[in-house]
Every structure is written in C-alpha cells, then in structure tokens.
Amino acid sequence: MTTDLSARDRGILEFERLRWNHLGNKDTAALMLFGLTWAAYSQVLQTIVRRPEAEGYDAGHVRRLRRLNEDRRRSRSARRVGYVTY
C-alpha cells in the first residue's frame, strides 16, 4: 500500500490506536515520541485526518477519528447556543 504520508504521520495515526488509562500519560508520550505538546499534537492529528492520503492508509480508523472530531465539534456548538455575552 503506497501513500504520501510521512513516517511521522503514519506513526501518529498508529499512536491514536493505542488505549490510555490516563490522558496525562498520552500527553507525555506524545511529547516524548513526536516532540509535540498536546495542543500541537491535536492540531497535527486533525491536519493528517483531513488528508485523503490518510484515508488511503487506514480508511476505517481515519473515518472513526473524523467522526469523533465532528461529534466534539457539534457538542461544542450545542453548548454555545445558549451563550450570551454582556
């Protein structure tokens, strides 16, 4: 299977398959493995998941990540519906 994803991009997708008991452990591992803070890691992951090459690499996993991201976005939007500023 040939893709245009870099080794780091593929590594990040594989890293996302792992299950973590505590988010802090995942934060630390992302920093140690990829040299990325949690915020930077999340942004890089979202960029990777949006690429068509990522779906070519692992369609089911990438679609799942896209779906989770969309669910989170909808949840944030729903909370803002009643938000009022003064």
The secondary structure of 9-77 as a DSSP string is HHHHHHHTTS--S-HHHHHHHHHHHH---HHHHHHHHHHHHHSHHHHHH-HHHHHHHHHHHHHHHHHHH
Distance CA 39, CA 43 (A): 6
- CB 4, CB 53: distance < 8 Å: yes
pLDDT in tens, 6-63: 999 999 999 999 988 887 899 999 999 999 999 999 999 999 999 999 999 999 999 9
Q: Average pLDDT for residues 72-76, to the nearest whole number?
A: 85
- Count CB atoms within 10 A of the CB of residue 36: 18
The pLDDT assigned to 2 comes to 47
